[in-house]
Amino acid sequence: MLIILNHKMNLNIDEIKEYEKILRDYDVVVMPQTPYMSLFTHGKYTLGSQCVSEYNAPGGVSAESLAAMNVKYVLVGHYERRNIARDTDEVIKKKIVKTLEYQMSPILCVGDNNEDDIDMVKKQIDSAFSNLGIDLNKIIIAYEPIHSIGTNQMLDASIILDKIKNIKGYLKEKYNLNNKIIYGGSVNSENIDELQNITILDGIIIGHASLDINEVKSIYQKIKKL
């Protein structure tokens, strides 16, 4: 199971240095703030990026520079960037192409506003996949229900299972694809056992809980059966 730690804009440099030392024995994907990426070079972990720029602009983060830092995974289309940073459908497509151009795996985030809104997820997939002209199998899909982000309350496991089944079925039916599907949304050590029971789930994104190295340790040990 893919385990992704998304720090967003949290942890200061002293906290990160201590965090990294402990994380070295963990086979996870860590996504720190961009300025701290160079501190993650010593462990079993894999480096990921929370963003990539689709054009050459001041303050941007190029796919070339990420690849040079040995980044393997890049988040694309996270709800907060769609909503606040105005990552449009066209921008997201360009970011996917840039990521794949440098042999990194794009993680396309899709989500919905309520438990019954699977059409919103399908639309986001279609807008990203249409006319790309690349190997779509290399795109990882991250289902992150918008109504669950930041609430500290994960969706019921049965609902998550139904969503994953729907997404997998849609990808197979329309595109003849079998992409990896992961879940993000208030994942922590208390609910990880429920997620592990979803055998068709390929991984998880841990947000707030990833800031606490003891939470990471607890989740990791449960997943790896340590």
Active-site residue numbers? 78, 144
Contacts of 13 (CB under 8 A, 6+ apart): 36, 39
Please report, for residues 143, 145, 168, 197, 219, the alpha-carbon distance to residue 118 in angstroms, rounded to integers and kept in the order given.
Answer: 11, 10, 12, 22, 28
Residue from 188, 109, 179, 93 nearest 143 by CA = 109
Rounded Cα–Cα distance for residues 186 and 155 (Å)? 8
Looking at residue 150, its pLDDT comes to 67
Question: Which residues of the chain fall below pLDDT 70?
Answer: 150, 226
Domain ranges of the chain: 2-224
Q: Which tokens in the block code for residue 111?
A: 């989500």
Looking at residue 132, its pLDDT comes to 84
H or E element that contains 159: helix 157-175
Q: What is the dihedral of CA 46, 199, 170, 136, to 10 degrees?
A: 20
CB 168 within 8 A of CB 202: no
Mapping DSSP to helix (H, G, I), strand (E, B) and coil, where does residue 83 land?
helix
The neighbour count for residue 213, using CB atoms within 10 Å, is: 18
pTM score: 0.95
Q: Which tokens in the block code for residue 175?
A: 């595109």
Question: Which CATH fold would you assign to the domain 2-224?
Answer: TIM Barrel (3.20.20)
pLDDT in tens, 123-166: 999 999 988 878 899 999 999 998 777 677 899 999 999 999 99
The neighbour count for residue 200, using CB atoms within 10 Å, is: 10
